[in-house]
């Protein structure tokens, strides 16, 4: 079982959770090359997004107004601590949308699929509708998901050859046009 810290601030969206992660990495936790950080949906009366992060000291987070879970330890408001525990358990079970992972900083511009697989923690590139990826136009935004413990990048065919990550950097909010 991987050691992991769950963090929950009740973030409404994955973008909000990523902003929280960025702030925590810069101000409290620091960042290492081996670190993995994921987002996880927390269902319930008030659905939201929590985080899991490996390789950090949970004690640095206890004084903040966050739910924190590490092993059997819990801190923060009970609802958020429960969400943090769910995120940590999901990561330990091999699930999560990866934001930080080994090699992510090098996934910029257009890269060959073999480079993506060799130089990052991504283990598989899955092309929607079938096919094989040769070039990956990263759009400088690569968010693979853990599927049964394997880090998989879901892509779709792109104009001009190659593939792009299925998740776009700036998605249009639901109902944005009305």
pLDDT in tens, 97-143: 999 999 999 999 999 999 999 999 999 999 999 888 899 999 999 99
Q: What is the pTM of this model?
A: 0.91
**3-state secondary structure (DSSP) of residue 71:** coil
Query: 1: pLDDT confidence band, cut at 50, 70 and 90?
Result: very low
| Other CB atoms within 10 Å distance of the CB of residue 178 | 3
Cβ neighbours for 146, distance < 8 A, ≥ 6 positions apart: 38, 91, 94, 95, 96, 97, 98, 152
Ramachandran category for residue 122: left, alpha or beta (phi over 0 → left; psi -120 to 50 → alpha): beta
| Contact status, residue 176 vs residue 152, Cβ threshold 8 Å | no
pLDDT tens, position by position, 159-178:
777 999 999 887 766 666 66
pLDDT tens, position by position, 42-81:
998 999 999 999 988 888 888 889 999 999 999 999 999 9
Q: Token digits for 16? A: 């909000």
- Distance, in Å, from the CA atom of 146 to the CA atom of 32, rounded to the nearest integer, reads 20
């Amino acid at each position: 079982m991987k050691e992991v810290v769950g963090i929950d601030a009740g973030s409404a969206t994955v973008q909000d959770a990523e902003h929280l992660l960025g702030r925590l990495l810069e101000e409290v936790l620091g960042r290492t090359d081996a670190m993995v950080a994921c987002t996880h949906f927390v269902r319930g009366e008030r659905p939201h997004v929590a985080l899991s992060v490996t390789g950090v000291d949970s004690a640095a987070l206890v004084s903040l107004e966050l739910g924190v879970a590490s092993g059997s330890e819990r801190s923060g408001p009970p609802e958020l601590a429960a969400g943090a525990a769910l995120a940590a358990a999901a990561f330990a079970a091999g699930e999560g949308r990866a934001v930080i992972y080994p090699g992510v900083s090098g996934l910029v511009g257009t890269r060959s699929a073999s480079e993506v697989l060799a130089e990052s923690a991504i283990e598989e590139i899955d092309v929607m509708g079938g096919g094989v990826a040769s070039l990956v136009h990263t759009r400088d935004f690569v968010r693979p998901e853990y599927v049964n413990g394997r880090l998989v990048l879901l892509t779709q065919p792109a104009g001009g050859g190659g593939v792009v990550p299925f998740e776009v950097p700036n998605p249009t909010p639901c109902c944005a046009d009305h």
